[in-house]
Amino acid sequence: MGKLFSNPKLLAIAVFAVAVLFISFLGGAVGAGLGLGFLGGPIPLIQLPAEYITKIGDYELMNTYVMFWLAILVLVVLTFLATRNIKDVPGRWQNLFEMFFEFFINLAESAAGGRKGRMFLPVVTAIFLGVLFSNWLGTLPGVGTIGRIESLEEFAHHKIEAELEDTAGSDIAHDLADHTFHEFFEEHGANEDVQEAITNFFADHGDDKFVVFNGTSGTGTIPFGHGEEFKVRLDQIAERPVNFTAAEYDIFVEQLEHPTFLPETEHEELTQADLDEGRVGLLVPFFRGASTDLNTTLAIAIFAMASVQVWGFMALGFKGYGGKFIFNPITKPIDAFVGMLELIGEFIRVISFTFRLFGNMFAGEILLIAMAFLLPLIGIIPFLGLELFVGMIQAAIFAVLTLIFGSIAIIAHEHGHEDDEDGHGAHSPDGTTPAVAGQEAHN
């Protein structure tokens, strides 16, 4: 401590750090409880499915899809830089990629035994690099915070459309998708499914809070302040139609398009002027980490397990590989049962891969949002570090597990004590038959 106080530069930095910590603590959610929260913002909507950026015709362009293509683009550029002029004494990028390759070549050769392991390399390295970059790009600033504003009316439109698709079939849902609320209610207002959908919409989302954005022109910003004061609840501005007359439908649509506070609701911090000068809606981010979408992780997992099966068939042939799972249940009942379990296990691995990567990344995203909400300026810093570390570990785990499953798949089934497998009794662990091993030894 003496050294700290005697060195003025160090002291200044320490005081600055403590001041920032104190200010962000008072400005965040805890400070909001004390009445202070001036740096806070409304907590964003966290939802499982990915949201779409724009609609091209009927196709919805999802924000995670765009991020995955961005990851691929970054990867292509880096690889181009690394392999432009391959020298004997490598430059920076080439050195980096050689590090990755050395790690995986060593792993592949030790897992699968000798140079045969190199057949795993393309798929495993591709999985590693793809998952790594799609994880890491999710921590960039701007991801999850910059986006378009989905107005209250669009939100209601989508939710009711989704509900109608479940209950009434896709005809009516497509009708709603193509038309505005006015036209739709004119035509289908008396339909009971529609009425029930609206009732359910209020039941599910009546308590949802929407953010009041500053500014009525093209761009809007979330105002600084005590986080929850810039949110408005759905049941403060809209009420459920009771008799579903045409007039009530009109009122409903009007309430969605021009939100005003209902006559007797209490609204502490916001006034009607705030609602008029701003826009009520939700933030739909333009970018969202690609691995936070279940579809991406499922696709990569299916690709990995399909590759494992392909490797198995390539190494052992159709009968050899199939013979590991399918046995004659009459002569070998226990083996048949175990084989069936292993077959089911192959499919379960897809689920396991998917949820391991998805759970880690989605939980990381929620953690970042929660920490940014609690301790605004600096709370997020250690958790960004954690995110980077976890992203790398999960990518490595995905690739290494694919490699291990692949090397298990090319091992032939070892039956040392069976009569009908005389010639095949002694398989070496890397799946080569003794004849081929003998040839290799001669070389």
Interaction site with other proteins (CB under 8 A): 46-48, 206-207, 352, 355-356, 358-360, 362-363, 366, 393-394, 396-397, 400-401
Buried b (16+ CB within 10 A) or exposed e, 13-46: eeeeeeeeeebbbbbbbebbeeebbebbbbbbbe
CB 207 → other proteins: shortest distance, Å? 6
Nearer to other proteins, 66 or 397 (CB): 397
Rounded to a whole number of angstroms, the minimum distance from the CB of residue 206 to other proteins is 8
Q: Report the 10 Å Cβ neighbour count for 275.
A: 19
Integer-rounded Cα Rg, in Å, for the chain is 30
Q: C-alpha angle 340/342/348, rounded to 5°?
A: 110
Least separation in angstroms between residue 108's CB and other proteins is 13
Alpha carbons 73 and 96: distance in angstroms, whole number: 18
Query: What residues have CB less than 8 Å from 340, skipping those under 6 apart?
Result: 325
CB 102 within 8 A of CB 94: no
CB of residue 302 to other proteins, shortest distance in Å: 17
* Residue number with CB closer to other proteins (321 or 362): 362
Q: Which is nearer to other proteins, 134 or 394 (CB)?
A: 394
Structure tokens at 442: 């001669």
- In angstroms, the CA 366 to CA 383 distance is 11
Closer to other proteins at the Cβ: 136 or 181? 136
380 or 399: CB nearest other proteins: 399
Cβ nearer to other proteins, comparing 235 with 421: 235
Residue 45 and residue 282 in contact, taking contact as beta carbons nearer than 8 Å:
yes
For residue 270, count other CB atoms closer than 10 A to its CB: 16
**Number of Cβ within a 10 Å radius of residue 367:** 15
Secondary structure percentages of the chain, helix, strand, coil, to 5 = 65, 5, 30
CB of 359 to other proteins, least distance (A): 3
Compare residues 251 and 370 and give the one whose CB is closer to other proteins: 370
Q: In this structure, are residues 368 and 384 in contact, taking their beta carbons and an 8 Å threshold?
A: yes
Nearer to other proteins, 39 or 107 (CB): 107
Structure tokens at 373: 């909400």
In the complex, the smallest distance separating the C-beta of residue 365 from other proteins, rounded to whole angstroms, is 11
Strand partners, 149: 283
- Identify any residues that bridge with 209 across adjacent strands, giving them in sequence order: 233
* Shortest distance in whole angstroms from residue 35 CB to other proteins: 22
In the complex, minimum distance from the CB of residue 350 to other proteins, in angstroms, rounded to a whole number: 13
